[in-house]
């Protein structure tokens, strides 16, 4: 089935459609026209085979006006066994980094995010904190974001190392990694303090 927005584009008058000689070229031209209307500063390279391909390549999903928001929020959780951090990505390209410990739950950072060729780029509202980029990857059905910069939350663990740890113990997710979670989990966790545990993984062992 064709995505709704692409169907609507196909039903436009001929004069209003992007010029294209093949279906693949049409989709690419449609993505380009969409971005030109709803975002700024993006350029398309190559071609796309589907509307989802445009989104996957980051061609669609950049900054958009409030009434043009698309899709649900996304949530990621990093558990370090004495607490947990959460990232909430909103469709309007704002984000929050929330810390959860035994004593309470706090907003640690907020700002704007955008999809880039390298992954998800975070631009903190506090100008004292440098922007940083997280690499989004999936392995064994779990999606995660890996960071490699000092300004990023948590600690730096290479993507391939995270995959190796998942393979080594598929039933237990590695600590210090932001794994995608669903909305109910996020809302439940961030409404209560972190439970006390006796086991702790040293940060040095997580590297």
Instruction: Tell whether 108 and 176 lie within a shared domain.
Output: yes
Instruction: Tell whether 84 and 107 lie within a shared domain.
Output: yes
Structure tokens at 17: 């459609």
pLDDT tens, position by position, 128-151: 999 999 999 999 999 999 999 989
Report the C-alpha gap between 11 and 14 in whole angstroms.
8
* Low-confidence stretches of the chain (pLDDT beneath 50): 1-18, 20, 34-51, 59-69, 198-205
Instruction: Tell whether 88 and 63 lie within a shared domain.
Output: no
Q: 89 has which bridge partners?
A: 74, 95
Q: What is the pLDDT of residue 118?
A: 80
Q: What is the pLDDT of residue 22?
A: 53
Structure tokens at 99: 């810390």
Total Cβ atoms within 10 A of residue 194: 19
Instruction: Tell whether 132 and 176 lie within a shared domain.
Output: yes
- CA nearest to 154, candidates 91, 98, 92, 94: 98
Which SS3 state, helix, strand or coil, does residue 187 take? helix
Note down the domain range covering 126.
74-206
Instruction: Tell whether 180 and 108 lie within a shared domain.
Output: yes
End position of a domain, from candidates 17, 52, 68? 68
Which SS3 state, helix, strand or coil, does residue 125 take? coil
Q: Residue 132 CA to chain centroid, in angstroms?
A: 13
Instruction: Tell whether 80 and 182 lie within a shared domain.
Output: yes
Report the C-alpha gap between 98 and 120 in whole angstroms.
17
- CA nearest to 207, candidates 160, 161, 140: 161
pLDDT tens, position by position, 159-180: 999 999 999 999 999 999 999 9
Instruction: Tell whether 11 and 31 lie within a shared domain.
Output: yes
Which SS3 state, helix, strand or coil, does residue 7 take? helix
Q: What is the pLDDT of residue 54?
A: 55
0.75 surpassed by pTM: no
């Amino acid at each position: 089935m064709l995505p709704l927005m692409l169907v609507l584009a196909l039903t436009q008058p001929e004069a209003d459609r992007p010029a294209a000689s093949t279906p693949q070229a049409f989709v690419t031209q449609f993505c380009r026209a969409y971005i030109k209307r709803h975002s700024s500063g993006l350029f398309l390279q190559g071609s796309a085979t589907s509307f989802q391909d445009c989104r996957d390549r980051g061609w669609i999903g950049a900054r958009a006006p409030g009434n043009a928001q698309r899709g649900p929020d996304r949530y990621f959780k990093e558990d370090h066994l004495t607490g947990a951090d959460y990232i909430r990505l909103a469709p309007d390209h704002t984000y929050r980094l929330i810390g959860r410990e035994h004593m309470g739950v706090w907003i640690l950072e907020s700002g704007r995010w955008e999809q880039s060729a390298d992954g998800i780029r975070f631009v903190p509202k506090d100008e004292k904190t440098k922007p940083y980029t997280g690499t989004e990857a999936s392995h064994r059905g779990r999606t995660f974001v890996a960071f490699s910069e000092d300004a990023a939350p948590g600690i730096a663990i290479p993507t391939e190392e995270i995959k190796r740890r998942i393979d080594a113990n598929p039933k237990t997710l590695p600590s210090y990694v932001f794994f995608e979670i669903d909305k109910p989990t996020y809302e439940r966790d961030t409404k209560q303090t972190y439970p006390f545990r006796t086991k702790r993984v040293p940060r040095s062992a997580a590297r």
